[in-house]
Chain A
């Protein structure tokens, strides 16, 4: 009986085209969109030099050659990337380009004294970098001038020290596989897809309760136990939704080439667990009361969207902000826990923190399933 019914339920699940369309199209379309929007940011941040216009307000050849060699010598990533993308221009040209943010991020003016000054249009990451260049250059200038005045005997030492470029910092990078913070958006997207799986399992209750649908009434007068409907419905819904979620995940991993970090099979297993959370949630809601299925769908969409907005679907730092101000919300929000599971896997590997998210996902799923079963146990109705 179980296998027969399961087979039929699976057939129903895979034929529910609108459900599959939405649960699959959502992550695929939005994932592609995120990829277009953020896919290259991580690289751009590291590799793209800041576009800078340099304007000489002096004819002093010594000043010109000194600043040129200083500015052009600046590099990032151990010399592999230039820090600034310099074009030497007249001020009027440079100013026109500056107003069009794309072309030039700032204008460095070189004065007769050798001092640099910077014109920017608005503050931002790029102008801060230019600012650092300008001020550090001017600071060195001040140091040399002051020493020459107070302690001229030490001037040679000072200049030698400046040229020696001693580092006082041992730079360490953050652990973890892919440190791109924009990965948060993909995590949230996966949570959303997993929770939207609930829209499919919502129908289990609906199809097995006589007071919710005509099909449910027919199921109730048949000699098959309610439990059997619930169980086969749940398993088939879980299979369908997991397949859909894994396809979406594989698309992100292999077509969009998003590096989620960590062990690939484990990422897929985490997705399977996430879909269990979604399916159990829908199973639970589907068995509550006898109000219209459209209303229940509304509740699920609300739970999913509110949860995902709190886990950072719309604003990436949201989860971090909540962790700081009200951490309990993140612990109870299924969307946050799912996205946290992927995050932990990436940053810390399959360790204790990852295990905690796994336990939570299993726990919350069992709670939903048990509640659903208890509520769905009802044997006859006051009204049909």
Chain B
């Protein structure tokens, strides 16, 4: 009888051990969930180590894709060259007009003694890894604390905003992309200055808190508002692609097509720190 009991207890021992471990981990996780992605020291070291592996593999794959890309690029280079020359002629004339407008702007700004600020310092980073899950939109970049990157810094491309730094290790950082549902950015509609918040919905953004009486149309440009102190003011966010004014509620339902193409991201620009030189200028 006693032997039977001991045997049963021995059989159950791994499950009891497993249950205790699971409970301990659950307690640990529940206590850490509130702070949402603040890596501790071992996790930062792991990010550094695995990041190095990602960087090596990315460099190797870049060699192959680069060679193939160069070969493919030669296919229609003549037509492209012709089109680019045509475009260059048009842009030259446009640039002349802009130069004139810029000169007028500077003259008027001086007259009005408007405070100006120089663009903030930036750093270029390469994407070395993407989130493997179907649920989240994050990427790993090859610049970290050592390069001056800090949590919360905005990440952009030449086309528009991309996201913000979620966490950093010594040499690598994790970026939360703007099209992730957990991302929220303050924006304004350029034409009427209506302020709202964009949230990621997969491949597009959803613009929230725009009142029904605001005049919003398909094709309107949306830029960052500069509120919240994370993104500099006036960065392109995207264009309005869909507007609906439902009978109920105070706000419109608006969808935005992102200015940046998230499927083709390779190199990103991290805006390090906004430094106002207003005092030096005036």
A and B: bona fide binding partners: no
> CB within 8 Å of A: which residues of B?
none
> CB within 8 Å of B: which residues of A?
none
